[in-house]
Structure 1
Amino acid sequence: MPTTRFPLKPLLLTALGLRLATAALAQQKADYPIQAVSFTKVKLADNFWLPRLKTNTDVTIPASFQRCEATNRVKNFEMAAAKSGKFATTYPFDDTDIYKTIEGAAYSMQLEPDAKLNAYVDELIQKVAAAQEPDGYLYTARTIDPQHPHAWAGKERWEKERELSHELYNAGHLYEAAVAHYEATGKRNLLNIALKNADLVCATFGPGKRAVAPGHEIVEMGLVKLYRATGQPRYLATAKFFLDQRGQYKGYDPKSPDVWKNGAYWQDHQPVVAQKEAIGHAVRAEYLYSAMADVAALTGDKPLLAAVDSIWQNMVGKKLYVTGGTGAASDGERFGQNYELPNATAYNETCASVADVYWQQRMWQLHGDAKYADVLEKVLYNGLISGVGLDGKSFFYSNAMQVKNAADLAHPEAQRSGWFDCSCCPTNLARLFPALPGYVYGQQGRDVLVNLFVSSTADLQVGKEKVQLVQQNNYPWDGGLQFTVNPARATAFNLLVRIPGWARGEALPTNLYTFAQPSAAKVEVKVNGQPVPYQLRNGYAVLPRKWRKGDVVTVTLPMEVRRVVANPNVREDLGKVALQRGPLMYCAEWTDNQGRASNLIVPPTAQFTATYKPEMLNGVTTLTATVPAVQVNEATSSIQTVQQTLTAIPYYAWANRGKGEMTVWFPAKVVDVDLVTRPVVQKEEKK
């Protein structure tokens, strides 16, 4: 794919596109109480996120397209257009890697125009259009050779949708890419493909027609996005229909404890309004919960809202890793039981973190409580960006919590990979990163809410007045935040700045994790240099004022090193502590700690020093302390502790310097010793 950049002329919506947008606005009535400020209105100037977005634009997206070419994902569309050949990749959902990368490219081009990338995407869209069947069906795993479709697909369309085919999953990612491309470029070429397919889906599924609970959710989210873009009620109605089909299938055994046999793996064990627990495949689940929030917001469905609220409480209260990762069990990439959060076998799929960001954003838009943004921030800065290497082209599919022995080191997830047969995670990251500006701000009437602390300039409209909001900081390394308010003319509104839970003494908005000791440090808020009292509402400092050009708000967040302890029910973490500074969780890696990480102890008396090191791992703040380290003398079979410097790095940055031990949780004292026999590697005799 070409990478040379040329400025693009601003892309204007066609008259038809304007009518489409106007129709959508006219049709929609109910919606989220809080609206996110569009990514197109926020321009980043940030030292933490902007380089990552640039790496995504310059490296990740081109690499994703190149790998889609090299692995025959693009060829599948070409063969489908020719109706000749043999499906050339492994999974029937491989089509989505192209859709997700197009989505990322669309967002990226809005932020940084690129004429050659624009032309390449249009070429890909032409190939997608050519692969679409006349009635709108689009699924290369069948269209290439309908007489011999993919083994997961079934003999007829939709036959295996509940279990394996992923026909509707492919459609959902197509819809999301199409809306992103339309919003970013104003062009309808991909949107028309999506609408044709969605009309087929709506004609096929619904009351009195075919019924199914989609096996891998996301079509529901995609249909909602098409509804928003067009205002066509059938798209929202079909999204709700798919939600309502869960728990209706008679082929499962509801009494079986096996999630595969009772439908829980697919979240199909109960009607959605009866579900109270995060269960089954974590990515599918969090896409489902995102769609439940969407439909609840747009229809006012109170039972649906109550269900998704209960599921959120269960997940954040009993099933969330301290890094924000979700999905403890590798068998099925799924949630475990309550408090089942193992470290050595933690799965934490990167895609699950992407899905969780979508879900937390929607919960925040529903309720306006900072606790949802607190969880979103935890995921973003820890369990999500750990999924991509600093080079932008190496990835984790699952994100470990500890690597400590020979078996761990031999596991493929002990080091990053360039691509996977199932490569959903790299392409999911490619689409999320450039959309990040859309997660910074929200509005509700005359309330302007600041959720994320990212240096940027936002162009807002409060009532009838234009307001520019300039944010400057060195977050997450420094807790000093500055906001300059520039209304076109003096304007009264409320500026709500999130005071993170970690700055208010909450490690998490549930009792799953808490800080080991309280802190006396306070958050300080000033307006034009003068301290101001403020009301704390739902985790936000509310600053009502008639704002004038050049008004400056400063917020100082305490950036202490805090010890985090887990709920006693999380037996894996009893007697252990994790380290947090600001929003970042830390880990110890072998390369900074004399070749080991699993032998380090962090007693309550350890005093940590935070030091910013611009030359290390693209610039990180490290934590150091003198702590006891367990050492074994093999000659005498004796064990002792010695004082050693512990160096901890942000969790997201691990595994960028080779393969070795790593740990997030540290014992606070020695209470037992596990005897592990290291395998002896026999030297092979030369022949």
Structure 2
Amino acid sequence: MKYNCFFAILCCAITLFPLYGGEKEHLVPISFDQVSLTDHFWSNRMRIQKEVLVPVAFERTEVGLEDLRRTGNYLKGIQDEIASTSRFNTSDLYKVLEGAAYLLKMERDVNLENQIDAIAKIISDAQEIDGYLYPAHTTGSYKDAELWGGAGMGDKPYSWVVHSHELYNVGHLYEAAVAYYQATGKKNLLAIAEKSAQHINKVFFEGDKNYNEGVPVNQAPGHQEIELALVKLYRATNNPLYLTMAKRFVDIRGVTYTPTGDGVMSPEYAQQHVPVREQKEAVGHSVRATYLYSAMADVGALTEDSTLLPALKKIWGDIVNTRMHITGGLGAIHGIEGFGPQYELPNKEAYNETCAAVGNVFFNHRMFLLEKDGKYMDVAEVALFNNVLAGVNLEGNKFFYVNPLESVGNVDRSHWFGTACCPTNLARLIPQVSGLMYSHTEKDIYVSLYTSSQTNIPLKKGDVQITQKTNYPFDESIYLSVNPKKNNQKFSLNLRIPTWTENQFVPGELYHYIDNNKKEWSISINGEFVDNPTVEKGFVSIHRKWKEGDKVVLHLPMPVRYNHAIKKVEANINRVAITKGPLVYCAEGVDNEGELRRYYIDEIDKTPLIKKGDNMLENIDIISNLSAHYLDENGEATFRSIAMLPYYAWNNRGVSTMNVWFAENEELVRLTAPIMPLALKSIRASYTHEYDDVLAVVSGNYPKSSFDTTIPRWTAYPKLGGTETVDFMFKEQTPVKSVAIYWYDDNGGVQLPVSWNLEYKIGDSEWLDFPLYTTDYYTILKDQFNLVHSAGEDFVIDALRINMKSKQNSSVGVLQVQIEVD
């Protein structure tokens, strides 16, 4: 196999990285289609990809295909409905096309090929004669759409590229076109892509009289993608125009246009706050960010521009040191779907879009190929095995867009989304995972991801066949067979020694082990152990003369490990997470008795039982009895073990609670899981918001104000305008002297009630009016307790009810209830 020094083969961009200024030799990855998988873990996913995920994705992106079909009819003068007002539904279709093309590259399928050819004809018909491709502007449906702001598409083509997705959409088309061309040799999609790219070059960098009054637009798009795609188009066609365009889009970001505003219109949102070479931190929308960083790596390598690498290293350090969840998830903050302040890494409220984890894999694999440093593949592996794989269920037909690290039983995968970028990104990534496994220079081989597989690696002095046998990520041993074409061929075999084998789970400063469960890894060659093997930049290197049939065994022990986050991550102070090998483990309510938040792990279990799951979890390692304690609602702590499963495998057996970071002491549980006061038997509400808890109203936390979000609360949101109740049942008949309520009011969806009152029960009686003291009345005041007393000295009851009538367009909430008993 011959390589041009400007080509690269990358997991999602079949590419070879050249030299930066000729200073050092970069790695050439082995393309995914040149690796034969013989394992269960990934091969089963490839089967599901072909049989389930891609067909499902084609079916559910039909809306984008229909928009293109209508656009083609419009251009041909055929009477039809105009396209929808969607800004980006065609991009989802293009991503599915890309994933389908990768499947074709592994195994030709006439029916699938014919389907793609038919879709290519529809896309071609929807493209204007000058190359413009965007259904809403072509058919005029933009007139019914939002034109400006965060959801706008502008009143004419390319008038609002900060949010229109015009370039984002065609970028995914370019990637699909290149993939299909490489899989089949057909140029039908490639011709559409080249026509589009040349049109964009004219409009953005030369000037076209039909657009922007003939003045070059010269603005980087709001959603990065076209930069990556243009690099792929360059590699497929050898046309340097496309690489030049990619570099221009990278270079002008944060230079020719800077948005003003907040949220999705902030300069940081699309990384437009400063020029890319001056960027030091990961900010804004996390998917856009990782696409940009990946493009910077590509452009820097292919143009031998070393000025981009320092910024990439600083940004990478900022991510792993301050902004990455232990699952490899990026973009913790809702709203902007992106990076928040440093160390802001919530659990239940974490966003962690699946696409951002895909981007994390892209970025880190590129950095590995540039730097030959295993730490980048360590991050890619953690993101892949945890956050990415969690994005799709084990059957391949339901998906997570958001990936929290805690659920109170309200999170479930969806069959599809209105914004379907995540399932379609999975459709194009999973077929290419084998492209992450092997890479080489002229004389060195690197094995960076482990699974049973076989490939042929073309070294300068002769090809070398490598065969792996392992059930990674569950098996601790990787068996490699090395078969050079020429006996006594000298080269180095470099095997990645993951960060998780040492003192922390993943590179960076955020997480570290707190146990002494470490076990030493080992390596043997033809049955003889290597003494004191050394690791350099994350790899152990074996340099020798190799002969056919040489055997290497790498043993990577996978004990259960206990992890802390640094104290700056406030969400996880005094909390512990469990990992094993490259996998983060979580607990699900379906496997454990009681509420997960009431468990605390206060001791290190050196010998937890590991067993294989059954049914849906077959072949998956389960931790069946991790030592822990449980604090019940009455405040009593007892020993109780926890069953845990890999994070990627949760939510496959119905909706359930889930938790990753567990309290490590009883005191923290008492702060976060309210304890029932001794006099009470139970509390129940007519309705409770999914993130709230009716027990919170008796937790004893004194509110700072009615808008105190630092303590637990009860609300009935999103139920608006009705009557809600909270009932308190006493263990025995109890004399009640007074009741005080501290209302929750966020001045939005939850506000002070219109009115409220109390009722009581004695025995099995009906609810009766509370005997209000003669001078009291039901006050409705913010930022204080609203207190009423009972009339008479002998008011003894079995149950108390609070009735609350909400305002018409809001719900009601309570921070604290104080019941004074005699």
Query: What TM-score, normalized to structure 2?
Result: 0.76
Offset, 1:520: 4.6
Residue number in structure 2 paired with 1:658: 654
1:470-511 Cα shifts (integer Å, max 9, x gaps) = 110011111100110112221211110001111133322211
Verify: 1:210 aligned to 2:217, yes or no. Answer: yes
Contact 1:23 1:231 in 2 (8 A): no
Q: 1:617 Cα deviation (Å)?
A: 1.7
In the alignment, which residue of structure 2 is the partner of 1:449? 446
Q: CA deviation at 1:194?
A: 0.7
For residue 149 of structure 1, report the CA deviation from its aligned partner.
7.2
Structure 2 gaps of 5+ residues are 9-15, 147-151, 208-215, 675-682, 688-723, 726-822
- Unaligned stretches of 5+ residues in structure 1: 1-17
Alpha-carbon spacing, 1:294–1:381, altered in 2? closer, same or farther (3 Å): same
SS in 2 for 1:494: strand
**Pairwise CA distance, 1:605:** 3.5
SS at match of 2:571: helix
Which residue is 1:12 aligned to? none
Q: Provide closer, same or farther for how the CA distance between residues 427 and 147 of structure 1 changes in structure 2, counting only shifts above 3 A.
A: closer
Distance 2:228 2:472 in 1: 32
What is the alpha-carbon distance in structure 1 between the residues aligned to residue 365 and residue 176 of structure 2? Answer: 19
Partner of 1:81: 72
Please identify, of 55-64 and 513-522, the stretch whose mean Cα deviation from structure 2 is larger.
513-522
1:680 aligns with 2:686: yes
Deviation at residue 402 of structure 1 after TM alignment: 0.3
Q: d(CA) in 1 for partners of 2:626 and 2:296?
A: 49
Equivalent pair of 2:601/2:628 in contact (CA under 8 Å): yes
The answer to which structure, 1 or 2, has the higher relative contact order (CA under 8 A, 6+ apart) is 1
- Equivalent residue for 2:41, pick from 21, 36, 48: 48
Give per-residue Cα distances to partners, 1:426-467, cap 9 Å, x unaligned: 110000000111111111221110010011110221114122
Give 1:336's aligned residue. Answer: 340
Matches within 5 A, 1:69-468: 69=62, 72-83=63-74, 85-86=80-81, 88-89=83-84, 91-145=86-140, 148=143, 150-151=145-146, 152-162=152-162, 164-206=163-205, 209-249=216-256, 252-253=259-260, 258-260=262-264, 262-404=266-408, 409-410=409-410, 414-468=411-465
- Report the alpha carbon displacement of residue 393 of structure 1 after superposing the two structures with TM: 0.7
Cα distance in 1, alignment partners of residues 627 and 371 from structure 2: 43
Instruction: Give 2:415's aligned amino acid.
Output: G
Cα 1:587–1:119 shift into 2, 3 Å: same
2:253 maps to amino acid: R
Task: Determine the structure 2 residue equivalent to 1:4.
Answer: none
Shift of 1:161: 0.4
Offset, 1:678: 5.9
CA shift, 1:260, in A, is 4.3
Asked whether 1:623 is paired with 2:623, we answer yes
Deviates more, 1:183-192 or 1:468-477: 183-192
Distance 1:551 1:195 in 2: 47
Q: Could you tell which deviates more after superposition, 175-184 or 422-431?
A: 175-184
In 1, the alpha carbon distance for the partners of 2:300 and 2:378 equals: 22
1:497 aligns with 2:495: yes
Report Cα offsets for 1:547-594 as digits up to 9, x if no partner.
111111100001100001101100100111100001000000000002
Query: Which residue of the partner structure matches residue 647 of structure 1?
Result: 643
Secondary structure, counterpart of 2:350 in structure 1? coil
Q: Determine the C-alpha separation between the residues in 2 that align with 1:493 and 1:87.
A: 61
Distance 1:614 1:666 in 2: 25
Looking at structure 2, the residues matched to 450 and 178 of structure 1 have their Cα atoms a distance apart, in angstroms, of 30
- Which of 497, 520, 523 aligns to 2:521? It is 523
- Alpha-carbon spacing, 1:207–1:516, altered in 2? closer, same or farther (3 Å): farther
SS of residue matched to 2:314: helix
**1:28 shift after superposition:** 9.7
Shift in Å, 1:276: 0.4
Give the distance between the partners of 1:390 and 1:287, measured in 2 at CA. 27
Question: What is the CA distance between 1:395 and its match in structure 2?
Answer: 0.3
- Partner secondary structure for residue 469 of structure 1: strand
Q: Is the 8 A contact 1:628 1:641 kept in 2?
A: no
Secondary structure of 2:390 counterpart: helix
Structure 1 residue 298: Cα displacement: 1.4
Amino acid in structure 1 at the alignment position of 2:276: V
* Equivalent position SS for 2:228: helix
Question: Which whole-Å CA distance do the structure 2 matches of 1:177 and 1:358 have between them?
Answer: 17
Give the drift of 1:680.
Answer: 3.3
Deviation at 1:535, TM superposition (A): 3.6
TM-aligned CA deviation for residue 420 of structure 1: 0.6
Deviation at 1:128, TM superposition (A): 1.0
Q: Secondary structure at the match of 2:458?
A: strand
- Give the share of equivalent positions with the same residue, in percent: 39
Q: In 2, Cα distance between the equivalents of 1:468 and 1:614? A: 36
Change (3 A) 1:56 1:261: closer
Q: 1:645/1:23 Cα in 2 relative to 1: closer, same or farther (>3 Å)?
A: closer
The residue type equivalent to 1:546 in the other structure is K
Contact 1:91 1:422 in 2 (8 A): no
Q: Is the 8 A contact 2:5 2:17 kept in 1?
A: no
Secondary structure in 2 aligned to 1:448?
strand
**Cα distance in 2 between the residues matched to 1:310 and 1:415:** 36
CA contact (8 A) 1:513 1:565 kept: yes
Distance 1:403 1:228, change over 3 A: same
Q: In the aligned structure 1, how far is the partner of 2:424 from the partner of 2:448?
A: 25
Residues of 1 paired with 2:252 and 2:145: CA distance? 25
Looking at CA atoms only, which structure, 1 or 2, has the larger radius of gyration? 2
RMSD over aligned CA atoms reads: 2.4
375-384 vs 190-199, greater mean Cα deviation: 190-199
Measured at CA, do residues 35 and 337 of structure 1 come closer, stay the same or move farther in structure 2, by a change above 3 Å?
Answer: same
1:459 match: secondary structure: strand
Shift of 1:231: 2.2
Distance 1:435 1:605, change over 3 A: closer
In structure 1, how many angstroms separate the alpha carbons of the residues matched to 2:61 and 2:265?
35
Q: Which residue of 1 aligns with 2:773?
A: none
